Amino acid sequence: MKRSICCDNQILSAFFQPVLIVSEPKINSVRTFAVYLSVVALCSFAQAKEKSLDLKSLPAVVRTAIQENLRGGEIKNISKEKEDGVVQYEVETRLNGKSRDFNVDSVGKLLLVEEETSLNAIPAEAQAGIIRKSGSGKITVVETFSKPGQPLVYEAGYTDKAGRRHEVLVKTDGTETRE
């Protein structure tokens, strides 16, 4: 009998369910228990490393910037990262049923905003650029991508025929860009 184990909240209930062992020596039960216990420990460690930051634990200027940029959205996750030497906080939110993520730096400056949209909601030239780049692949997500003081661009994720994931970033006129 094979069991699949994943790192989620159901692991404990799967672990503590009674197991019927038919004519197995007691030593195998101990090994099975040890394996389950190891998996639980590893999953707990992995989840702890990916834990979301608490808004209350952030510096006041960062908290204020986040609250000003929420626009009524619900915070799903806050993480701290260092990108190009700049410490920043990535805030993943849901607003009106769509993903809206933004980054602020350690002094509360807004660095970028990504908002989920639809292909039909963006300018025709940008649509054409995305369709041209994705070819016969399947477009999975379209987002607006904005940085203060820079023109709005559009980011699309797509899957090619082989199932590989790609992204493309285009300007309003449909030309591909790198940011």
Q: So where are the chain's domains? A: 10-49, 55-170
CB contact burial 33-72 (16+ within 10 A = b; e otherwise): eeebeebbeebeeeeeeeeebeeeebeeebbebbeebbee
Phi-psi map region of 84: left, alpha, beta (phi>0 left; psi -120 to 50 alpha)? left
Domain 55-170 -> CATH class: alpha beta
Which DSSP symbol is given to 137? Answer: S
Rounded to whole angstroms, how far apart are CA atoms 153 and 142? 11
* 3-class DSSP assignment, residue 112: strand
Tens-digit pLDDT string for the chain (179 aa): 433 334 444 443 444 444 444 444 455 555 555 445 455 454 444 443 446 898 999 999 999 999 999 999 999 999 999 998 999 999 999 999 999 999 999 999 999 999 999 999 999 999 999 999 999 999 999 999 999 999 999 999 999 999 999 999 999 999 999 87
